Amino acid sequence: MEANRKNKLLIGFGVAVAVLLVKLFVIQIVDDRFKVSASNNSMVYNYTYPPRGVIYDRNGMILVGNKISYDILVTPREVGPFDTVGLAAALDTTADFLREKMAYYQKYRTRIGWRTEVLLKQIKSETYLRFAEEEFLYPGFKSQVRCIREYPFNAGGNLLGYISEVNDQDLQRHPDYRRGDYIGKTGLEAVREEDLRGEKGYHIYLRDSRNRLQHAYRDGEFDKDAVPGREIVTTIDARLQQYGQELMRGKVGSVVAIEPSSGEILAMVSSPGIDVDVLADFGKHYDKLSASRYKPLFNRTVQGFYPPGSVFKLVNGLIGLQEGTLRPEMQYPCSMGFPYGNGHKLGCHAHSSPLALRDAIATSCNGYFCYVFRNILENPKYGSTRDAFDVWRDYVLSFGFGAPLGSDFPAEKGGNIPTSGRYDKIYRKHWRFSNIISLSIGQGEITVTPLQIANLAAIVANRGYYYIPHIVRDSDHVTIDEKYRRKQYTKVDAKYFDIAVDGMYMAVNGGGSAGATALAAAIPGIEVCGKTGTAQNPHGKDNSVFICFAPRENPRIAVAAYIENAGFGATWACPIASLLVERYLTGTVLRTDVERRIKNTSLMR
């Protein structure tokens, strides 16, 4: 018994020793990877940087490409005495600059260790060639070739974003990056960093006992080729984007254009924005841009919170139809506004009265939609105003308001649709329609982003559904998330949307019993449907708002224009949006007098 137990222990021990010996044989003889890792102290890795992925527009035009750049690197521990004046001449810099840098490296030599630092970035090609001839004279200094971004077409600076050298925070989040590497900071460059960056390569060289570089390790057997970044194809139409920027020059606000049938964003203009000219060397311009009172770094299209104004009347009208508290033929009076409470009145502009729904949309009657909203909240099938409000809010959320839409653009905000709980706190649970009447016309506590109201235009164009707006297309190199292919339905039946479409058509083209508010959006030969809005602004003049889509049947484009402190929607937002539609659908603009007025007018004060 005891002998058997002893034999089993000996056998087990023998097997363990055999496994260990085999493992050591594999590690030391068969597989050199561990030997390479253990020898790292005697090796030098010279990194090669891949070109970042090219970014294209929907038609194959390059939005962001690459060009060759040259840097000068230094490994301070490898630097001996050198001719400072001679090196300064070779590098087209000053001797004082070199002395300051070497003094810095000496001061922080322990922290720097054997690390290689960037001495000069983006030197001229002639400087690079001159230094290459003399490099052997200056041990520890070397040149490096890499690609930097170039922008052949001025379209979408805020949209594309910029890249910059990694900082401490970047290195903590991405431990595989090294100092001197570049990373996408904003826009597409940031959100698609993993695709665009590629993979660095390297050549391994041996270092002798005096830290001098010798020959390549194992004749380059373990070297790695750099892998270029993946190409990105965007949904953006570069020429439309550029045209939108031209129209918005001298104005503060946003223009967003969407293809309703796919949710693809055709143009996304935040004004004032970032010119692509500054993106390649963004750090040099950052302080000036960040100090501007017009906030060009702030992307208003997805981050700006605004009251939607009268374009929101479409939502209330559709909810009323679905709830059965409104019928298209119902008429309501309007005598320069809607009276409520103790002598209060929500004002309106002059127009014929009474009106039915289509004419109320066309003429943007405030009074009419106060009746509509009141009837929604006082619907007898709900036990209280509060209960009816909660139902109304669910409808509104189904239109993509109150939360980020889920686009693939970074830092998208969601605006605000107030809750009944908020009003409970404000009014101590004693509130009714008259307390929140401003929601009837898209004012009060409602805030939205320009992207969300462009999406509203797409919803009406599609008669009740939308695709989540996005800016990256499927391509050979990148596949988009399936969520961008799924229809997102509102809680309003499709059959009610034709009534809203009729009203929007009449707003632009006339034909009703009341005055049309968007005649400036009419395009000869194209059936444009639109809705104006004038949103009150507590910080100055009213904001000018307009949404539209075209053609009426099988729409190809939906646009929202939101111009801050510009007054009536029909005056500025309306023509800007319609010019964008005309340019996209026809390839040209025949209304040159309108275009000239828009381009030659600055509203920035």
Among left, alpha and beta (phi > 0; psi -120 to 50; other), residue 424 is alpha
Lowest mean per-residue pLDDT among 75-79, 262-266, 295-299, 343-347: 343-347
Q: Give the pLDDT mean for 222-250.
A: 94
Domains and CATH numbers, the chain: 44-79+86-106+115-233 (3.90.1310.10), 238-286+296-599 (3.40.710.10)
What pLDDT is stored for residue 212 in this prediction? 58
- Tens-digit pLDDT profile for residues 95-149: 999 999 999 999 998 888 888 888 998 899 999 999 999 998 999 999 988 888 8
> Confidence class of residue 34 from pLDDT cuts 50, 70 and 90?
very low
Is 0.95 surpassed by the pTM of this model? no
Helix (H) or strand (E) holding 105: helix 95-107
Strand partners, 565: none
Provide the CA 306 distance to its chain's centre, in angstroms.
18
Helices 238-248 + 573-586 axis angle, to 10: 160
Spatial CA neighbour of 490 closest among 398, 392, 397: 398
pLDDT category of residue 476 using cuts at 50, 70 and 90: confident
Buried b (16+ CB within 10 A) or exposed e, 115-140: ebbebbeebeeebbebbeeeeeebeb
pLDDT digits (tens, 9 = 90+) for 551-573: 999 999 999 999 998 777 678 99
Alpha-carbon distance of 406 to 541, in angstroms, equals: 32
Task: Please report the pLDDT score of residue 342 as a whole number.
Answer: 78
Instruction: Identify which of 489, 97, 445, 203 has the alpha carbon closest to the alpha carbon of residue 322.
Output: 489
Of the two residues 69 and 490, the one the predictor is more confident about is 490
The predicted structure's pLDDT at residue 579:
97
- Please give the pLDDT value at position 17: 58
Q: Which pLDDT does position 39 carry in this prediction? A: 46
